[in-house]
């Protein structure tokens, strides 16, 4: 994705576009006004001069007009008559007409059944007008350049506080404490308001994080103690030889539930910590060595099913994460595979880098059902009945930069791929 243009660039671009459009509008307006004024001047000048000539001819029958270097009189009664370039024109003033290679403005009038005209040579005037236009364009360009420099300088001064504020915000780090936005020198009331609001938010965020960490630390300690007592008591009870079968089954259930609660507490603590801190604080877990233990922990779920599990280790890379979290993540996927299969073989493959693929022979899912699974993962709104649940597993993958992918063919089973190489060593 391309970066958005800066406020400074947009401000300078907008102002320069405004100056250019304003200059264009002024130029067009000046051109229209000039042409209109020029037409009025030519009409007034030629009308008055032609009226003078015709009036004198009426008073003095022997009067003869002599053309000058710039003004010519045409009369159909004269031997020269009307030039061919003017014969097809209607009565009125006609500007920029070429007559004999000379640019003229011509007034034509019909009097007593004959056509007369008065022509003014405007070649020099048009050249002067062209030179003046070039000068105006040059001055307009120079004005745009000077205004551009002034606009750039003004824009820099205007947006500098916003730019500095954006840079400070970009340097904020979620894990750091005591961060505040500083405003140096005089600034606007809006910048002060934004800065005050951000600093207030940062302060409230720090207090919230401190309260949450204190709560998590306290809750984890208070929860682990009774859980450890229950786990120890159930383990001792299961070692007794005179425990009835029904009680033995209930004690086993208590022990499994206790282990799941321990995993859940560990998961909550992991989600509350920064992944970088987790990488520094935990040991390396070799996934291929962990899978057999996870399989044995879930064999009781296959007692009433015609299922078997095959394990293939194609890689032995290690991940840096809490052991209980890795066990829970893989165990949850294995539990789902067992619960959705009745017969056949579940294949667990460890691939490089640090990827676990669990393929079950279950009923499979339609594309709509797979979409529903991903929707639940995105919402994080379900526990799916056992283990840490797909919702927690989704949050775990996002937090640790892992990736969970589920593909399925209806009637042919499901393949779950858990890539844990986001934090591999």
* Residue 376 confidence (pLDDT): 52
Residue of 157, 175, 169 whose CA lies nearest to 197: 169
* Residue 99 confidence (pLDDT): 85
Q: Is the pLDDT of residue 384 over 50?
A: no
Q: How far apart are the C-alpha atoms of 20 and 37, rounded to whole Å?
A: 25
Q: Is the pLDDT of residue 369 over 70?
A: no
Concatenating the DSSP letter of every residue in 31-44 gives: HHHHHHHHHHHHHH
Q: Is the pLDDT of residue 124 over 70?
A: yes
* Residue 86 confidence (pLDDT): 85
Dihedral-angle region of residue 112 (phi above 0 means left; psi in -120 to 50 means alpha; beta otherwise): left
* Residue 381 confidence (pLDDT): 44
In this structure, are residues 365 and 373 in contact, taking their beta carbons and an 8 Å threshold? yes
* Residue 3 confidence (pLDDT): 61
Question: Taking residues 368-395, what's their average pLDDT?
Answer: 55
- The residues, ordered by sequence, that sit 6+ positions from 348 with a Cβ below 8 Å of its Cβ are 291, 295, 309, 310, 311, 312, 334, 356, 357, 358, 359
In this structure, are residues 92 and 104 in contact, taking their beta carbons and an 8 Å threshold? no
pLDDT: is 269 or 181 the higher one? 181
Q: Is the pLDDT of residue 373 over 60?
A: no
Cis peptide before 353 (omega within 30 of 0): yes
Domains of the chain by start residue, with CATH: 7-144 (3.30.450), 275-423 (3.30.565.10)
* Least confident span in 131-145, 155-169, 312-326: 312-326
Question: Taking residues 369-383, what's their average pLDDT?
Answer: 52
CA 303, 305, 306, 308 dihedral sign is negative
pLDDT digits (tens, 9 = 90+) for 290-320: 888 888 888 888 888 888 899 988 766 778 7
* Least confident span in 104-118, 237-251, 387-401: 387-401
- The residues, ordered by sequence, that sit 6+ positions from 409 with a Cβ below 8 Å of its Cβ are 364
Q: Is the pLDDT of residue 273 over 60?
A: yes
CA 224, 226, 230, 233 dihedral sign is positive
Query: CB count, 10 Å around CB of 39?
Result: 13
Return the half-sphere exposure (C-beta side, CA atoms, 13 A cut-off) of residue 41. 11
In this structure, are residues 263 and 326 in contact, taking their beta carbons and an 8 Å threshold? no
* Residue 347 confidence (pLDDT): 92
* Residue 63 confidence (pLDDT): 81
* Residue 386 confidence (pLDDT): 40
- DSSP letter at 178 equals S
Query: Which two structure tokens, joined as six digits, stand for 342?
Result: 């009745």
Question: Taking residues 359-388, what's their average pLDDT?
Answer: 57
Whole-prediction pTM:
0.46
pLDDT: is 277 or 301 the higher one? 301
- DSSP letter at 84 equals G
Phi, psi for residue 105 in degrees, rounded to 5: -110, 130
Residue 337: which pLDDT band, with cuts at 50, 70 and 90?
Answer: confident
Question: Taking residues 159-168, what's their average pLDDT?
Answer: 82
């Amino acid at each position: 994705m391309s970066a958005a243009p800066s406020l400074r660039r947009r401000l300078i671009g907008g102002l320069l576009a405004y100056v250019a459009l304003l200059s264009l509008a002024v130029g067009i307006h000046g051109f229209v006004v000039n042409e209109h004024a020029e037409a009025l001047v030519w009409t007034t000048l030629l009308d008055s001069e032609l009226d003078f000539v015709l009036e004198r001819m009426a008073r003095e029958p022997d009067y003869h007009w002599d053309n000058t270097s710039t003004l010519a009189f045409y009369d159909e009664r004269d031997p020269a008559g009307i030039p061919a370039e003017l014969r097809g024109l209607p009565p009125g003033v006609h500007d920029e007409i070429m007559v004999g290679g000379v640019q003229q403005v011509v007034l034509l009038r019909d009097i007593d059944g004959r056509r007369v005209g008065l022509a003014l040579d405007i070649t020099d005037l048009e050249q002067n007008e062209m030179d003046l236009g070039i000068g105006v364009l040059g001055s307009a360009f120079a004005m745009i350049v000077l205004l551009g420099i002034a606009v750039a300088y003004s824009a820099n001064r205007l947006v500098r506080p916003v730019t500095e504020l954006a840079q400070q915000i970009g340097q904020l780090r979620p894990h750091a404490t005591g961060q505040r936005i500083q405003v140096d020198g005089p600034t606007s009331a809006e910048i002060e308001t934004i800065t005050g609001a951000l600093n207030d938010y940062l302060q409230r965020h720090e207090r919230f994080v401190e309260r949450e960490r204190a709560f998590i630390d306290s809750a984890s300690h208070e929860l682990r103690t009774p859980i450890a007592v229950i786990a120890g008591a159930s383990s001792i009870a299961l070692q007794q030889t005179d425990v009835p079968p029904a009680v033995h089954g209930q004690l086993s259930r208590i022990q499994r539930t206790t282990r799941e609660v321990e995993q859940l507490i560990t998961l909550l603590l992991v989600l509350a910590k920064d992944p970088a801190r987790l990488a520094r604080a935990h040991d390396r877990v070799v996934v291929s060595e962990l899978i057999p233990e996870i399989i044995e922990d879930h064999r009781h779920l296959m007692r009433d099913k015609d299922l078997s599990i095959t394990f293939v280790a194609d890689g032995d890379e290690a991940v840096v994460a809490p052991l209980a979290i890795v066990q829970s993540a893989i165990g949850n996927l294995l539990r789902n595979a067992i619960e959705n299969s009745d017969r056949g073989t579940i294949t667990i493959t460890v691939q490089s880098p640090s990827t676990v693929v669990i393929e079950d022979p279950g009923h499979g899912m339609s594309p709509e059902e797979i979409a529903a699974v991903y929707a639940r993962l995105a919402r994080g709104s379900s526990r799916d009945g056992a283990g840490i649940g797909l919702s927690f597993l989704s949050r775990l993958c996002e937090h640790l930069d892992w990736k969970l992918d589920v593909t399925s063919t209806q009637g042919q089973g499901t393949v779950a791929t858990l890539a844990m190489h986001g934090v591999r060593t």
